[in-house]
Chains A and B, each alone.
Chain A
Amino acid sequence: DAGVTQSPTHLIKTRGQQVTLRCSPKSGHDTVSWYQQALGQGPQFIFQYYEEEERQRGNFPDRFSGHQFPNYSSELNVNALLLGDSALYLCASSPGPASSYNSPLHFGNGTRLTVT
């Protein structure tokens, strides 16, 4: 049973560039959430996708956008990269639209983005 997979594992970009991160959810899960984890901090919620639509969004600028495909996989796009966007980006999946509040999220290993 494949868990949540993310690609790439590491990425180095230059300020001002654009980046796309990819995520495949755990088998049987159809909801994908993205989190940003800055160094020394807990993960911060970016947004959640279900049925190919953004359902919830955290306090992140429009430079952060996403997409969900019919096979439930998802992409996170960040435009006009800033040095402060350097972080570990975690993808998490769950069954159903946030399923129940008592359902844990299953996370991938993350993509470590470095902006120089």
Chain B
Amino acid sequence: AQKITQTQPGMFVQEKEAVTLDCTYDTSDPSYGLFWYKQPSSGEMIFLIYQGSYDQQNATEGRYSLNFQKARKSANLVISASQLGDSAMYFCAMRGESGSGNTPLVFGKGTRLSVIA
């Protein structure tokens, strides 16, 4: 079974500052992928960034970067230069490759980020 834990129900950050959203995971799958999604109040889940379990370098995508520490089973999202439009729910998720095929995407409970002007 896979499990995602997001321990920060809510976070505040000043505009233009950087913020880190925490995510820890647990899985027995030999290969897996870690994802971060943004969910504005409209409800749509927007894919932000991906990190593979065998990737040697941390993923980056514009202002988003993923601090991947495999030994600690953590995959924290770093947002640099926060903007007011970054205010939303952020979900960490994973899916793995088991012997019977790919497993469904499993989500954490999310972190609500509020950017303050």
Contact = CB atoms under 8 A, between A and B. Distances in A.
Interface residues of B, number: 30
B64 interface: no
A58 B96 CA distance: 15
B101 A98 contact: yes
Interface of chain B: mostly helix, strand, loop or mixed: strand
B105 A110 contact: no
B104 A56 contact: yes
A44 to B, nearest CB: 8
A105 B50 contact: no
Interface stretch (B14-22, B69-77, B79-87, B107-115): B107-115
Interface residues of A, number: 28
A88 B104 contact: no
B91 interface: yes
A108 interface: yes
A107 B107 CA distance: 13
Interface in A61-96: 88, 90, 92
A42 B106 CA distance: 9
Nearest to B6: A42
Contact of B109 (A33, A42, A98, A100): A42
Interface of B: 4, 29, 31-33, 35, 37, 42-47, 50, 52, 91, 93, 95-97, 101-110
Given A42-B107, A101-B29, 11 more contacts: A42-B91, A44-B107, A88-B43, A92-B45, A98-B95, A101-B32, A101-B102, A102-B33, A103-B33, A104-B47, A107-B37
